[in-house]
Chains A and B, each alone.
Chain A
């Protein structure tokens, strides 16, 4: 499992086609991966396990989300005003 993720990450070019978001509006794709990364981090940290599998979500949200959105959300998470459930 972990080796698959490593292999996928090494061959990473850009965010692949995601069938959950097949259309023009990719806003949810970016949001979803951002949430998934932070939820994955939180969950694996709580278990005390290596968080390397979460890196996939990070690469994808970094590819898709505008830098200003990521900065805004990171600031909100620090302040405790982030609107998503992590």
Chain B
């Protein structure tokens, strides 16, 4: 989850998010290098006593500062496209979960075998136990088996919402009447938080998403218990 004075991304919990994180490091390093160079040149230009009024052109430097930026852009584009195509690969999901956005809560449906459906409301601040996170905890988490490809179909029952979990590298708009597909693999067990990412009314900031990745046996136990309860 996010923490105070955080600068970078949250720790990646899926292979795709890891790739995005490393790509961001790569692109940002290039940005820092260029910015440092430009800043240095500006300071040097501003603080020098030397002046020369007679240079009119120079083919050599023009070639260099055309070819080098083109080369740098290719250096950014290649990893970027690699990740784009990686995210677009056909995957073979083990489980399909529907995440339906409502004003102002999410509901999750696991209907591959039985009809399991439940709502997930934010825990009000006064009901939090010590150690729980304000505005992020929910009463029922979306539990998934770890290391399994999961397909999530996102939609909405009333207005636009958006289902986002940053540590999994997932964000998908919830549009009424439309079924948007996204997929991910949770590479480690844990609890991953997200928040609704499309303005949807008064309590838009108060309908969080909590995904809990557990080993398969615990997932099976959890789903039997949930079926008994509902």
Task: Give the distance in Å from the alpha carbon of A65 to the alpha carbon of B155 in the complex.
Answer: 10
Check B112–A63 contact: CB distance below 8 A: yes
Q: Size of chain B's interface in residues, with CB distance under 8 A? A: 25
Closest to A16 in B: B92
Given contacts A25-B179, A26-B153, A26-B179, contact A67 B94 (CB under 8 A): no
A26 contacts across to B, CB distance below 8 A: 153, 179-181
Shortest CB–CB separation between residue B100 and chain A, in angstroms?
Answer: 6
Task: Give the distance in Å from the alpha carbon of A64 to the alpha carbon of B100 in the complex.
Answer: 12
- Kindly identify, within residues 18 to 46 of chain A, every residue whose CB is under 8 Å from any CB belonging to chain B: 22, 24-27, 29-30
B94 contacts across to A, CB distance below 8 A: 13-14
A24 contacts across to B, CB distance below 8 A: 172, 180-182
Check B100–A66 contact: CB distance below 8 A: yes
Task: Give the distance in Å from the alpha carbon of A29 to the alpha carbon of B90 in the complex.
Answer: 16
Bitwise, B78-108 to A at CB < 8 A (1) or not (0) is 0000000000001111111010100000000
Closest to A68 in B: B157
B100 contacts across to A, CB distance below 8 A: 66, 68
A63 contacts across to B, CB distance below 8 A: 96, 111-112
Shortest CB–CB separation between residue A63 and chain B, in angstroms?
Answer: 5
Bitwise, B166-181 to A at CB < 8 A (1) or not (0) is 0000001000011111
Task: Give the distance in Å from the alpha carbon of A25 to the alpha carbon of B96 in the complex.
Answer: 15
Cβ of B228 under 8 Å from chain A: no
Select which of A15, A22, A27, A67 is within 8 A of B96 by beta carbon: A15
Task: Give the distance in Å from the alpha carbon of A15 to the alpha carbon of B152 in the complex.
Answer: 12
Check A25–B93 contact: CB distance below 8 A: no
A16 contacts across to B, CB distance below 8 A: 92
Closest to A22 in B: B90
Check B178–A14 contact: CB distance below 8 A: no
Check B96–A64 contact: CB distance below 8 A: yes
Shortest CB–CB separation between residue A58 and chain B, in angstroms?
Answer: 11
B contact residues vs A (CB 8 Å cutoff)? 90-96, 98, 100, 109, 111-112, 115, 117, 151, 153, 155, 157, 172, 177-182
A-B contacts, 12 of them at CB < 8 A, read A14-B93, A14-B151, A15-B96, A25-B178, A27-B178, A30-B179, A63-B96, A66-B100, A66-B155, A67-B115, A68-B100, A68-B157
